[in-house]
Amino acid sequence: MTTTSSPHSHPLDEALQLAPSPSAAAGQYEGHTHAGYWNMVGPFGGITAAALLRALMQHPDRLGDPLSLTVNYAGALAAGPFAVQAVPVRTNRSTQHWTLSILQADAEGAQVVTTTATAVTAVRRETWSVGDVPMPVVPPPTEHKAIVAPQGAVEWLRRYEMRPIAGFVPRTWDGSGDHSLTQLWMRDAPERPLDFCALAALADVFFPRVWLRRARQVPAGTVSITVYFHAGAAQLQETGTGYLLGQARGQEFRNGFFDQTVQLWNEAGTMLATSHQIVYYKE
């Protein structure tokens, strides 16, 4: 598949273009990595999570909206085409359980699994609802400067407008870190109305907590991420192209792996998603 790009299309939509595989069963799609979301040795993890979710969203048998998504990064994707498989393994009355994977041809041409995933979609009804983690009280987005990705920075950083509030990347790597909490306002760049795929990707924009906690830039990469979607169509529409307040914090750093908890609210203070990941770090 060739990625067709138009001057009017958003880079996120370009990156998430999936074509049904010719002469294959439903749920088999072909995609292509996008240079605009490139990280150091493969695509930005958030765009890979979004591509898996997109496959599920396109599936003709889908029931309901995304409720949870877990993505396991088994191996880096190389630049080029890839295949996505999305299988609804069990459909209940109001929930549907999915297994997903991404495969890519290796140097010898054999298809190997680069990414595994599971997801649950659900038909949701209005019920008693309450938020138990209120949005932190912080100044509005316009009162924080957007960061400008420095020359040589990984490309995907330019696909997000990020306005740090607290706990951004240390300026000096002097081992002086004493916490792992980051808060920032953020949205797609250029602006784009929020949907489930964009939300999944936004859950993964936080730089590795270990850099902040140690004020030391060691190699690190997400091994597994889970996103719980609290937003439905109404909350996505209410959010539109507005900013999200993202908050990330590490809980435990131990012997090569740390975990991270994430909350994402919209400007109105509505919790849109919570997320967790476990991340590899070196030494």
Interface residues with a copy of itself (CB under 8 A) are 67-68, 70, 72, 74-75, 89-90, 92, 95, 97, 99, 101, 112-114, 116-118, 120, 122, 124-133, 179-180, 209, 213-214, 223-224, 226, 228, 230, 232, 249-257, 259, 261, 263, 271, 274, 276, 278, 280-283
Rounded CA-CA distance 106/125 in Å is 44
End-to-end CA distance of the chain: 40
Give the shortest CB-96-to-a copy of itself separation in angstroms. 9
Task: Give the phi and the psi of residue 226 in degrees, each rounded to 5.
Answer: -125, 135
Q: In this complex, which beta carbon is closest to a copy of itself, that of residue 12 or of residue 67?
A: 67
Residues 271 and 230: beta-carbon distance below 8 Å: yes
Specify the pairing of strand 257-266 against strand 65-73: unpaired
Rounded CA-CA distance 56/119 in Å is 9
Cis before residue 190, ω within 30 degrees of 0?
yes
Q: In this complex, which beta carbon is closest to a copy of itself, that of residue 28 or of residue 70?
A: 70
In three-state secondary structure terms, 63 is coil
Give the shortest CB-122-to-a copy of itself separation in angstroms. 7
Give the shortest CB-90-to-a copy of itself separation in angstroms. 4
Q: In this complex, which beta carbon is closest to a copy of itself, that of residue 10 or of residue 276?
A: 276
Q: In this complex, which beta carbon is closest to a copy of itself, that of residue 157 or of residue 236?
A: 236
Give the shortest CB-153-to-a copy of itself separation in angstroms. 25
Give the shortest CB-165-to-a copy of itself separation in angstroms. 19
Strand (E) or helix (H) holding 280: strand 271-281
